[in-house]
A and B are shown apart, each in its own frame.
Chain A
């Protein structure tokens, strides 16, 4: 079993829809949870960073962590065509080593 599981998609939604992206993990040592966005032929860029269980909001983006279920989510409200990218969840238990999910490819259709 992989340490981090993420549905690769692709996920196609109409513009304006609410998008839900999810990851599950098996390593209880993970304490830090991140979401990266990667546009085609570009490097990943950090979108959201959370430490504790609960919700964190930043504009149209909300990151949710449920440590008891080992489940994290990223919600995108009012999705835009510019949100079309691959979204990678990432987790760390400390000392730099970050484990990434395989990424979910999202397409927002105008």
Chain B
């Protein structure tokens, strides 16, 4: 009964390839996020979706495209992978749009992407 799950856990691929990471939450939350954590552990938000609608879109190359088929799923597709894309990507979810006690974010286990 995992709350936020991601697949795959590890992804090793060549430069220039296209890959996808999937995320699913069974918490009934309205909002989902993608974060990138670099080698220095800095966790930076990339995207946020609320009820399938894009809410936050940080300065991220347009090679990254999130897709939310329903509010329980938020997938991340990456085109033309580059060496600098190597990082751990975390999916998260929360209950409400506005900040407050219900804004607690629950994180998935992460997907470790290595681009060779």
A residues contacting B by CB (< 8 A) are: 8, 31-32, 34, 38, 41-46, 49, 51, 86, 88, 92-100, 102-103, 105
Contact = CB atoms under 8 A, between A and B. Distances in A.
Interface stretch (B14-22, B70-78, B93-101): B93-101
Contacts, number: 70
A96 B103 CA distance: 7
Q: How large is the interface on B (under 10, 10 to 19, 20 to 34, 35 or more residues)?
A: 20 to 34
Contacts of A34: 104
B107 A44 contact: yes
Interface of B: 4, 31, 33, 40-45, 48, 50, 55-56, 90, 92, 94, 97-101, 103-110, 112
Contacts of A99: 45
Contact of B56 (A31, A88, A96): A96
Nearest to A45: B107
A41 B110 contact: yes
A45 to B, nearest CB: 7
A46 B94 contact: no
